[in-house]
Amino acid sequence: MHMNFIWGVIFLIAGGSLIVTRMRHPDYNKTTNIVGGFLVVLASVMILFSFIRVVPAGTVGVVDVFGKVVDDVRQPGLNMVNPFARLIVVNVKTEEESEIMSVPSQEGLSIDLDVTILYRLVPDKAREIYKTVGVNYRNIIITPQFRSACRGVTVNYEAKALYTSGREEISQKIHTELEVMLKDRGIILEKVLLRSIKLPAMVSQAIEVKLRAEQESEQMKFVLTKEQQEAERKVIEAKGIAQAQEIINKTLTPAYLQHEAIKAQTAMANSPNHTTVYIPSGDNGIPLVRYLNDDKGK
């Protein structure tokens, strides 16, 4: 029951009694009448305000009248409520649940998992939650199912997957399983965040050593592949040079060389420079050309 209503009734009775009693008293005076009237007005105001309840932003109100829950959920703002009823304010904003829990891996190792979930209550489900679970629905519904979903997912993964790239996949699977559990209750799961994973010290060291060895192996594969490609490039280059030399050797015939020598003679004869050409005797008849500058020849 609203306290304003109770005090209003008390002041109303007191003020009315004072007015009636003092009016019948031989020593009646106006001052007493004014006091009584003030109490009556104050009581009326308090009773009036006892019907008005405020539901804060981001919440909804559930009205409980002597154990009977009213069907309508009260929205944020001013609401007219039976003064004999209780108004239970239920939060529908996004809430956070964080926990460091010990979960098993596929190998049976115990791992400390620091995980956070973000969730919110559907406003229309506030009445049902209050009737079936109560205002402490977080500890009754969310926390136990939160733990159950995490353990149910991690038991299917090796510790290495929890420690490395499998974290995002694990987070998504926890989200999927927990979302199904909470949906029927009118609770929307917004996000599952894996903040940190702590493995036993020996396991962490073993995983780090293995990962380092795998990285070194991949690096060696890269080096070998690069060297192999370089070797293949050199072979291709050598084949190209050999083929070019073979083509050149086939085209360098005596007739071709003599033709080129005659062209050189003709060009030098028309040159303004004084050029001396030596044509040695020989079977092939190829001239030997020597350029002489006038200034140097003097």
Q: What is the DSSP string of 79-116?
A: EE--TTSEEEEEE-S-EEEEEEEEEE-TTS-EEEEEEE
Residues 99 and 195 in one domain: yes
Residue 209 main-chain phi, psi, to 5 deg = -65, -45
In a domain, 62, yes or no: no
C-beta of residue 16 within 8 angstroms of C-beta of residue 40:
yes
Count of domains forming the chain: 4
Question: 187: buried, middle or exposed (CB in 10 Å: 19+, 13-18, 0-12)?
Answer: buried
**What residue has token string 């079977």?**
283
The CATH number of the domain holding residue 101 is 3.30.479.30
Q: Quote the pLDDT of residue 121.
A: 94
Report whether 48 contacts 62 (CB < 8 A): no
Phi and psi at residue 55, in whole multiples of 5°? -105, 115
Q: Which of 199, 217, 240 is the last residue of a domain?
A: 199
Q: What angle do CA 202, 205, 210 make, to 5 degrees?
A: 125
Same domain, 247 and 179: no
In a domain, 67, yes or no: no
Beta strands 52-55; 77-80: pairing state: antiparallel
Instruction: Report the alpha-carbon angle 290-291-297, nearest 5.
Output: 110
- 99 and 150, same domain (yes or no): yes
Give the largest Cα separation in the chain, rounded: 169
Q: Which two tokens stand for residue 164?
A: 């490395």
Q: Which domain holds residue 108?
A: 95-199
The reported pLDDT for the residue numbered 187 is 93
Whether residue 181 is found in the same domain as residue 113: yes
Written as one letter, the residue type at 224 is L
Helix axes 167-183 and 143-154, enclosed angle (nearest 10): 140
Identify the CA nearest to 48 among candidates 95, 98, 9, 100.
9
Helix, strand and coil content of the chain, in percent to the nearest 5, comes to: 55, 20, 25
The amino acid occupying position 209 is V
List, for residues 120-139, the tens digit of each pLDDT value.
999 999 999 998 898 889 99
> Among the three residues 155, 171, 199, which one is the final residue of a domain in this structure?
199
pLDDT tens figures, 191-241: 998 888 777 666 656 666 777 777 778 888 888 888 888 888 888 888 878
Sequence-distant (≥ 6) Cβ neighbours of residue 243 within 8 angstroms:
none
Q: Assess whether 276 and 261 both reside in one domain.
A: yes
Query: Is the residue at 69 inside a domain?
Result: no
Please check whether residues 215 and 260 belong to one and the same domain: no
Domain check: are 132 and 176 in the same one? Answer: yes
166 contact partners, CB below 8 Å, separation of at least 6: 157, 160
* 106 shares its domain with 130: yes
Same domain, 245 and 165: no
Q: Which residues does the chain have with pLDDT short of 70? A: 1-47, 49, 163-166, 200-208, 248-261, 264-265, 267-298
Q: Is residue 88 part of a domain?
A: no
How far, in Å, CA of 156 to CA of 135, rounded?
34
Q: Is residue 24 part of a domain?
A: yes
Q: Do 222 and 127 lie in a common domain?
A: no
The rounded distance, in Å, linking the Cα atoms of 35 and 286 is 145
The whole-angstrom separation of Cα 177 and Cα 172 is: 9
Q: 189 and 238 share a domain? A: no
Residue 283 lies in a domain: yes
Verify that 195 and 205 share a domain, yes or no: no
Within a domain: 240? yes
What percent of the chain is predicted at pLDDT more than 70?
A: 61
In-domain check, residue 82: no
